[in-house]
Amino acid sequence: MKARRPNPVAQVTDFDIRMLKIFRSVVECGGFSVAESVLGIGRSAISQQMTELEQRLGLRLCQRGRAGFSLTEDGQQVYEACLRLLSAMEGFRSEVNGMHSHLRGELIIGLTDNLVTMPHMRVTDALASLKKKGPDVQIQIRMSTPGEVEQGVLDGRLHVGVIPQVGALSGLEYQPLYSERSQLYCGVGHPLFFVKDLDLREQRIQEQDAIAPTFRLPATIQEHYQALNCTASASDREGMAFLILTGQYIGYLPDHYARSWVAEGRLRALKPYSCFYDLTLASATRKGRRPHLVLETFLESLAMSG
């Protein structure tokens, strides 16, 4: 039987909260080395804080060493409790801040990759408007996969997310923002790069090595990938771009993201009038959320920027 702390934690102090925030960052970064740059403190200081937290709680939270970083069973439970505690604290702060006429607090927004090159900069414009209305507002942007963004909004770690609208989760509300077009590209050096579209037969396209995404897409869009010879995969659009730019693969990329490489002569769209698909990107917020003046101001600005 594991040895545990003989007495329960009497109260949660400000120092405990600070250590729990460090613990959350370490878990989300996957270890001390990445957390070091995110937190802006040395690895030895992080290690000391983690040791003190374990002593404070009387629990072993993680394994760390040559084998890498991993949470113990107790550590996983403490991490989940930590998220609930910090989310409740932020909820309290947001409600109190909402009683004042001027904006205070923070906005934590989750984004999927490569939205910054969208020609209609709705997210950027809405963030600019929010900062002008509330100079003291603290904005945090977290880049993640669409599924992780949705989960973050559901459990309160994120106030809002911007993701491809694939399927509606029952606990979230979605507001369409963009329609994004993706085209089929190959890189310079690929056998099809200099072949004219009129000479490109569907069978020849299907014979090329292609890239499949591992993130969720609507069934109608998945059909475009099923028609290709997908021998590689990527978890995001940047990963797909890396492979296409090798000149060894073909794959779909958003046209706004690929535009600069096309201008440089490094990418070329194949049969752009037939090999494309459109995807809706939407904002996602939690249903039944508590009043949050900063979030509501951002959402209002987002709607007006359309």
For 151-201, write each residue's pLDDT tens digit. 899 988 999 999 888 877 888 999 988 888 999 999 999 999 999 988 889
Residues 70-86 have a mean pLDDT of 89
Query: What's residue 211's pLDDT?
Result: 96
Query: How large a percentage of the chain has pLDDT more than 90?
Result: 37
Query: What's residue 205's pLDDT?
Result: 93
Query: What's residue 252's pLDDT?
Result: 97
Asked if residue 209 has pLDDT above 70, the reply is yes
What is this structure's pTM? Answer: 0.64
Query: What's residue 101's pLDDT?
Result: 56
Residue-wise pLDDT for 252-283, tens only, equals 999 999 999 999 999 999 999 999 999 888 89
Close Cβ partners of 143 (under 8 Å, ≥ 6 residues apart): 110, 111, 112, 113
Query: What's residue 269's pLDDT?
Result: 96
Compare 122 and 2 and report the one with higher pLDDT: 122
Compare 250 and 144 and report the one with higher pLDDT: 250
CB 130 within 8 A of CB 137: yes
Query: What's residue 8's pLDDT?
Result: 63
Residues 88-112 have a mean pLDDT of 77
Cα distances from 16 to residues 23, 28, 60, in angstroms, run: 10, 18, 16
Mean pLDDT of the chain: 86
How do beta strands 70-71 and 172-187 pair? unpaired
Asked if residue 117 has pLDDT above 60, the reply is yes
Question: Which structural domains are found in the chain, ordered by start?
Answer: 14-91 (1.10.10.10), 103-306 (3.40.190.290)
Compare 243 and 40 and report the one with higher pLDDT: 243
Asked if residue 67 has pLDDT above 50, the reply is yes
Residues 50-66 have a mean pLDDT of 84
Residues 40-46 have a mean pLDDT of 85
Asked if residue 113 has pLDDT above 80, the reply is no
Asked if residue 124 has pLDDT above 70, the reply is yes
Residues 213-219 have a mean pLDDT of 85
The DSSP bridge partners found for residue 110 are: 142, 161
Terminal CA-to-CA distance of the chain, rounded, Å?
60
Query: What's residue 3's pLDDT?
Result: 47
Element (H, E) at 83: helix 73-97
Query: What's residue 1's pLDDT?
Result: 39
Among 51, 80, 285, 20, CA closest to 162: 285
Residue-wise pLDDT for 3-13, tens only, equals 455 556 667 88
Query: How large a percentage of the chain has pLDDT more than 70?
Result: 93
Round to whole Å and give the CA distance between 244 and 263. 16
